[in-house]
Structure 1
């Protein structure tokens, strides 16, 4: 399996693949992703590649993969047209009749009708098998490519063993994710400030993550004297610490597009408040309005404030739902289920 980078949040998934495949599994990765804040966790067992970013991080060539052009086993590559070395591997392996799996989002971020999907489709046609993140994407792509072997591996962060609803006061709001403009964490802090008259004095906004917006957020906190109400933790990878923070929170928030953190939040039984009109990642399919999420009108501070006020007014009702939210996630979004899709591919290859 070749990855651009190996962030710590993928560690459980890689561990499960090593457990299932043992010495039949090899993992390759570079030091960081296109977005430099996504760094490889060097505690993850892997073979190091040299990432050579080109034209201001628009494209990537990974040095150290040429031998994989003749690898007889299955090679799994990211389904990202910006990775030029993956194109080279796909062409080489296809010419030799070797099996290559593409793994990733079925469509570009702007959707299946985006003009850039033409290039992505050329890449898809070079693969033996395609693995996408959701059943919906699998069905949509299978309709477009009826002759191609397409599978869905639920995009997950957590093992079923760590999904539980820990006891806590459930009084805070929590954001976990990258601090980038697309994720809109600065809007979140601004909107939270507007909510303060409606919230208990002990309620805080907990922000876990790192990125280019961090200094702007820190400046806003200082300027508006929010040091006692907004806590910037930086990046946290320790599951026990994350569990503690989620246990103390009534809700999590996604002020920008939803990503993997939605299943992490649900795994701990915490509902999510989500900006409605965003280019959400496929994980949004886990959201069921009224059951595990509430949507608010995008970039609207007033609607955000109304939604938060309503959630706190119905606090006991949302707390009662936590077990059901966690169970729903445990039954659908675990690293065990995700890894099993790739494990079965190797078993089919041996037959």
Structure 2
């Protein structure tokens, strides 16, 4: 008989809605989802349209740690409980110890390594957490292989970190002419640098080309001030956060390229899903999703924080505009074959069917 699946998350942002919907479709009443109101980064908010059971997030010591109230009963929950692989979540440690002592299955899900990489001193604590899990699910094949080498006796799986269903990965017809940024407006993502660099590009760009910025965060007011100061209102558009797939599809369809001025995150597969190549800052602490990038096929790299190199890269992309437009179908197909919420959900579904693990 298939096992019941319970997933516990700090927050349930709207970009995960498709993944959870697919799990509900596959498992129906055999799936339960728990989450708090927001993540450690407060701009990552739970989408309350996602069916879930609410937890109270109690952040401690200036948001350095978290205890989630409302999870104690999950210590004895039958079936499989999936927790975030984040040592900062103290209640997850408690659940891991309790469930291990009872012989119950607990899965850790997340990035295999800390932000600073597998050689980071903080990985010692992360490794102690990993050893308490029955199974570990990471986001990429590369991370799976690396972690399997470190933990050869542990059941480790890779679930592609996806945002989109294969059904919505469409390449719209048209004449793309804009640049687009989709992501949080935080210092680490460097959206202000992007606006400054775009301003430097204006002499090289068609007069109707705009920079479209989709997202929210602490840098938004600085960006708005820069736009006003330099009279860029007709060239830079701040949309705020957008979750509607059709609206995102429309904006991507109008854009010749997307940009990641800081570290690459989930938006890279979203961009590729719509067939849009990405201009990426080379030397950043990129998330594992950077494995989707193939230089010259779906990305162009520029030298980090270098406005001149950024400008040269944008100019070259626009000079080869028709070539990049022709690649859009192949870029989308590449993503559809590897990074969909269906493929991501299937990894967790198969866990419920495997009672030997």
TM-score by length of 1: 0.99
Residues 10-69 of structure 1: per-residue CA shift (max 9 Å, x gap): 000000000000000000000000000000000000000000000111100000000000
Cα distance in structure 2, aligned partners of 1:300 and 1:138: 34
**Structure 2: where are the runs of 5+ without partners?**
1-6
| Structure 1 residue 167: Cα displacement | 1.6
Q: Deviations over 1:184-223 (max 9, x none)?
A: 0000000000000000000000000000000000000000
- Matched position secondary structure for 1:27: strand
Measured in 2, the distance between the counterparts of 1:32 and 1:295 equals 33
Q: How big is the shift at 1:169?
A: 2.0
CA deviation digits over 1:240-269, x for unaligned, max 9?
000000000000000000000000000000
| Per-residue Cα deviation, 1:76-134 (whole angstroms, up to 9, x for no partner) | 00000000000000000000100000000000000000000000000000000000000
CA drift of 1:183 comes to 0.2
Q: Deviations over 1:306-341 (max 9, x none)?
A: 000000000000000000000000000000000000
Q: Which deviates further from its counterpart, 160-169 or 36-45?
A: 160-169
Give the match for residue 284 of structure 1.
290
The number of residue pairs the alignment matches comes to: 351
| Shift in Å, 1:151 | 0.1
CA distance in 2, matches of 1:256, 1:286: 16
Q: Is 1:303 aligned to 2:314, yes or no? A: no
Within 2, Cα distance between the matches of 1:197 and 1:58? 45
Shift of 1:350: 7.6
SS in structure 2 at match of 1:350: coil
Q: Report the CA distance between 1:349 and its aligned residue.
A: 2.5
Following superposition, the deviation at residue 165 of structure 1 comes to 0.1
Q: Matched residues in 1 for 2:256 and 2:219: separation? A: 25
- SS of aligned partner of 1:130: strand
C-alpha distance in 2, partners of 1:70/1:350? 19
Classify the secondary structure of the residue corresponding to 1:179: coil
Shift of 1:168: 2.5
Cα distance in 1 for partners of 2:270, 2:299 equals 13
Deviation string 1:280-326 (CA, Å, 9 cap, x unpaired) is 00000000000000000000000000000000000000000000000
RMSD: 0.7
Q: Secondary structure at the match of 2:44?
A: coil
What secondary structure is seen at the aligned counterpart in 1 of 2:237?
strand
Unaligned runs of 5+ in 1: none
> Matched residue of 1:80: which SS?
coil
> Structure 2 CA distance, aligned partners of 1:56 and 1:224?
36
Mean CA deviation greater in 164-173 or 121-130: 164-173
